[in-house]
Structure 1
């Protein structure tokens, strides 16, 4: 299946926190969107890899994504090396996305920045025909997305582009709440963590409001880009 938009996320719930409004918006626009999670989030203090698997499935249904896979890299210990790059190359060539969204290059969690660099390097390598890959015994053709953006998840980072998600904020919040073991949930007991407090959840909403305010809408998501972005017309800008 060819996708228009592919989200690469190191942990299940990263896509939801960083760009689920953008995912929902583009699906509503008729685009095909998928998510590739690198790890199962097995080092998370709350929940288990198995509960995260189920929560990721529930969130995928809420968002309506066309595909979601997990590469089962080691949470916390994966590397930006040839082995991991080639696994991502296989996914990029499998789905042939026009645009990739991935983790921030600098963030509180060290996995995020490493994953952002890993996704960037794999996206470039995927376009080189002399790198040979196979999927299920079938040779793959080279493919390089035309654009890669990094979603902003935790630390405040000045975005290069902001996308209005106002009509999709409830879908975003529902997709995050699907990860019941990870975020604030008064019905579940468990050790307190940075992301399980009600303040953290409010900060997610607050950031969406702040990005929205900066472009004259109610809610938005911000992204960074390693290259300059262009538009066909000034009248396309909000």
Structure 2
């Protein structure tokens, strides 16, 4: 299956927090969208890798993803090395995305910046025909390089290079975020009363998400926006294509 937009992120919920609205928008345009979780988020303070997997499945249904897979890199301990690059290359060649969305180039969580470098470099290397990878049936994979790699913006503020209007999809995005009920404040914490409070489980974190999206939206004259950065120049067909 070829995927138009493939989001590859360090942890389950990274995509939901940062670019779920963009995925929903492109899904509404008839494109195929998917998520690759690099890790299971097994080092997270709250929940377990099992509950994170269940929550990711629930979120995937809300987002109507065409595919979601986890490639089981070690949470907290993966690096931008040939060993891990080949695992990312393999999944890029499997789904042959036109566009990849991935983690912020720098952020509060060190995994995010490392994932940004790992995915960016793997996307380039995936296009080199002399790098051999094999699918799950042992068949040689075709070299494939996506047209673009964009980095979403996470906890730390980064000036976006462009902003996607996700106003129409904001409520559905937040529904996908709150599917991770062990991680975030959902308005009913009775499901995990014994879990320790964390930076992201406080009610204020959800308020911060909305404030950030409103700020980005304000910059382009819409209600809610999701911001992205790029390592390459952006081209437009004409001035009227800008909002």
More strand by share: 1
Is 1:208 aligned to 2:213, yes or no? Answer: yes
Q: What is the rounded CA distance, in whole Å, between the counterparts of 1:232 and 1:102 in structure 2?
A: 25
Q: What is the rounded CA distance, in whole Å, between the counterparts of 2:90 and 2:110 in structure 1?
A: 24
Q: What is the rounded CA distance, in whole Å, between the counterparts of 1:138 and 1:66 in structure 2?
A: 23
Within-5 A mapping of 1:1-238: 1-136=1-136, 137-185=138-186, 186-187=189-190, 188-189=192-193, 190-238=195-243
Q: What is the rounded CA distance, in whole Å, between the counterparts of 1:31 and 1:192 in structure 2?
A: 38
SS at match of 1:139: coil
Q: What is the rounded CA distance, in whole Å, between the counterparts of 2:18 and 2:231 in structure 1?
A: 17
TM superposition shift of 1:16: 0.3
Listed as ranges, the gaps of 5+ residues in structure 2 are none
Listed as ranges, the gaps of 5+ residues in structure 1 are none
Number of residues paired by the alignment? Answer: 238
Q: What is the rounded CA distance, in whole Å, between the counterparts of 1:10 and 1:68 in structure 2?
A: 13
Stretches of 4+ aligned residues off by more than 6 angstroms: none
TM superposition shift of 1:135: 0.4
Q: What is the rounded CA distance, in whole Å, between the counterparts of 2:220 and 2:5 in structure 1?
A: 23
TM superposition shift of 1:153: 1.1
TM superposition shift of 1:111: 0.3
Q: What is the rounded CA distance, in whole Å, between the counterparts of 1:97 and 1:40 in structure 2?
A: 22
Q: What is the rounded CA distance, in whole Å, between the counterparts of 2:108 and 2:73 in structure 1?
A: 20
SS at match of 1:6: strand
Deviates more, 1:179-188 or 1:92-101: 179-188
TM superposition shift of 1:79: 1.2
Q: What is the rounded CA distance, in whole Å, between the counterparts of 2:41 and 2:3 in structure 1?
A: 25
Q: Cα deviations across residues 194-228 of structure 1 (Å, max 9, x unaligned)? A: 00000001100111110000000000100000011
Using the size of structure 1 for normalisation, the TM-score is: 0.99
Q: What RMSD over aligned residues (CA atoms) do the two structures have, in Å?
A: 0.6
Q: What is the rounded CA distance, in whole Å, between the counterparts of 2:115 and 2:15 in structure 1?
A: 12
TM superposition shift of 1:134: 0.5
